[in-house]
Amino acid sequence: MSVSGRSLAAQAIGEAISLFARFITAPRAIWQGIAPERGLRVYYANHSSNGDFVLIWTVLPAPLRRDTRPVAALDYWLTSPLRAFIGRDVFNAVLIDRRPEARTTDPVEQMVAALDQGASLILFPEGKRNVSDERLLPFKSGLFHLARSRPSVDLVPVWIANLNKVMPKGEVIPVPLICTLTFGAPLRISEGETKDAFLARASEALLALGTAAS
């Protein structure tokens, strides 16, 4: 397939995925603490479904969507040619290898490089899907290191409600259900703020959105 043909196919598949997500979940974006305007941002959200980043990407206005890249697991998205095409070509994901022993590039450096190229990011600080009874798992350190590397970038909490009920773990047929995505006020790291203090503050901001949405 030529480069132009591959690009057209990626656009068509992206639109199809977005339409399917809208049909199944009728997602509603609530811009509570920030406006849907262009600007360098890291959207960080709770993670309970493989469809989480698709839903965030879907509800972004088209100009924002074109400049926003999800951060996703390389060891998941490169397991088949179709997944690789969707991850790389359709979503232009920043693919992070979760296996330290196999990793050749530092994940934070990958994310910083994407920001420096003008892309916003979609990130899940829990690091894995939350299938526990806890509303939010402890955050990994990546968000802190990213914030410290680029302290002028807005970190926007996004609470995704109901998507875990649309696609429960182990199920292959989604259950139609309205989902809401609440975008909160942006955060930035404070000078001298410790990792534990920053991650606690970022986690609390996200949990507060979830509490208000429930």
pLDDT tens by residue, 55-67: 899 999 988 988 9
Cα separation, 74 vs 76, in Å, equals 5
Is residue 117 predicted with pLDDT exceeding 50? yes
For the chain, the average pLDDT equals: 87
pLDDT score of 208: 95
Residues 159-170 pLDDT 10s: 998 655 544 555
SS3 (DSSP) at 152: coil
DSSP state of 88: I
Stretch 46-56: mean pLDDT: 85
Q: How many CB atoms within 10 Å of residue 144? A: 21
- Structural domain including 68 reads 3-213
Cα separation, 166 vs 49, in Å, equals 9
Return all residues near 121 (Cβ < 8 A) that are at least 6 apart.
41, 42, 43, 68, 69, 70, 71, 94, 111, 114, 115
CB of 166 closer than 8 Å to CB of 58: no
Cα separation, 114 vs 16, in Å, equals 25
Q: How far is CA 21 from CA 11, 110, 172, 200, in A?
A: 15, 28, 14, 32
Stretch 126-145: mean pLDDT: 91
pLDDT score of 172: 47
CATH classification of the domain holding 189? 3.40.1130.10
Is residue 175 predicted with pLDDT exceeding 70? no
Is residue 15 predicted with pLDDT exceeding 90? no
More confident site: 30 or 16? 30
Return the minimum-mean-pLDDT range out of 120-124, 149-153, 173-177: 173-177
pLDDT score of 50: 73
Total domain count for the chain?
Answer: 1
Return all residues near 99 (Cβ < 8 A) that are at least 6 apart.
75
The model's confidence at residue 105, banded by pLDDT at 50, 70 and 90, is confident
User: What pTM value is reported for the model?
Assistant: 0.88
Stretch 138-165: mean pLDDT: 90
Is residue 36 predicted with pLDDT exceeding 90? yes
Is residue 200 predicted with pLDDT exceeding 80? yes
Stretch 60-75: mean pLDDT: 91
